[in-house]
Amino acid sequence: MITIKTKEEIQTIKEGGQILATVIKEIEKMAKPGITTLELDRASEALILSYGAKQGGVHHPAKPAFKNYEGFPYSLCTSVNENIVHGYPSKYVLKDGDILKLDLGVLYKGFNTDMAVTIAIGNVSFETKRLLNVTKKSLRLGIKKAKVGNTIGDIGNTIQRFVEDQGFGVVRDLCGHGIGKKVHEDPKVPNFGKRGAGEKLAEGMVICIEPMVTMGDYKLRKSDDGYGYATRDNSLTAHFEHTIAIANRGPIILTE
């Protein structure tokens, strides 16, 4: 069932989203050759916990949304190279030429936000940069379609057509989602589909749009850590995500 949020609830989600975006930016700065993904996880958790607000004498803490969610023992998902999502932080040392996906969530005042970025570690090839740029642009294009009266299919179709026109693959096994008091809510938001298909977008819906793009074939396998996902052909991957509110005046990015 899709839950419609009030304007006040969307404002609360936006407050959490601003915390999340700030933390992601700090972690991006830290992600250099020589650091482990586990160090990034610990830093992200410490940063999230350092935020919060005191209102009316009540302290509202910020918490990592992913920690212990469905058995995930960390705060930050770190997926390197062919790994695309839900990767375990580890003692893996980032090296020049890696591409790293950072996927993080914040729980604030009872509401969740979710955001992901992909960053190049050191020097990467022209085609790798193109993969990142195409994925990031596909997110922007998908967000533009997140308007009252459009459908979930309009978002997915726009992302799919752009990505495939650029010669890359769109993951089918995973998708975006609604978000609110739970990390994953209805509706599912695929990155592929047909125009006019799926649920109609209405004011007050809050969704996560998250293109997952591959340099090779889009088919996935379980990652070596047994939790995340990677491409079957070991081709490189990219992932970007924002939490979006559907409003009559147009889509509102809540994780900026």
pLDDT in tens, 60-93: 899 999 999 988 999 999 999 999 999 999 999 9
> Could you tell me the fold of the domain covering 7-253?
Creatine Amidinohydrolase (3.90.230)
Q: What is the mean pLDDT of residues 237-255?
A: 98
Query: What is residue 54's predicted lDDT score, i.e. its pLDDT?
Result: 56
Indicate the pLDDT class of residue 158, thresholds 50, 70 and 90. Answer: very high
Name the average pLDDT for the chain: 96
Q: What is the pLDDT of residues 201-226, one digit of tens each?
A: 999 999 999 999 999 999 999 998 88
Which helix (H) or strand (E) covers residue 74, if one does?
none
Predicted local distance difference test score (pLDDT) of residue 55: 60
Q: What is the mean pLDDT of residues 38-59?
A: 85
Band (38; pLDDT cuts 50, 70, 90): very high
Does the pLDDT of residue 57 top 90, yes or no? Answer: no
Give the residues across from 113 on adjacent strands: 106
Amino acid at 137: K
Tell which residue, 46, 33, 35, 50, has the closest CA to residue 76.
Answer: 46
DSSP letters for 144-191: HT--TT-BHHHHHHHHHHHHHHTT-EE-SS--EEE-SSSSSEEEEE-S
> Cα–Cα distance between 130 and 123 in angstroms, integer?
13
Q: In this model, does residue 190 exceed pLDDT 90?
A: yes
107-112: average pLDDT: 97
* Residue 236 DSSP SS3: coil
Token pair 């350092």: residue: 50
Strand-strand pairing, 83-85 and 52-55? unpaired
Is the predicted pLDDT of residue 56 greater than 70, yes or no? no
Please state, in angstroms and rounded to a whole number, the distance separating the CA atoms of residues 51 and 53.
Answer: 7
Question: What sections of the chain are H helices per DSSP?
Answer: 7-30, 37-50, 126-144, 152-165
Q: The pTM is what?
A: 0.96
| Cis geometry, peptide bond prior to residue 187 (ω within 30 degrees of 0) | yes
CA neighbor of 79 nearest in space, from 191, 193, 236, 232: 236
How many whole angstroms separate alpha carbon 89 and alpha carbon 165?
33
Which backbone phi and psi does 135 adopt, to 5 degrees? -65, -45
- Residue ranges per domain, the chain? 7-253
Residues 206, 187 contacting (CB under 8 angstroms):
no
Give the rounded percent of residues in the chain with a pLDDT score beyond 90: 94
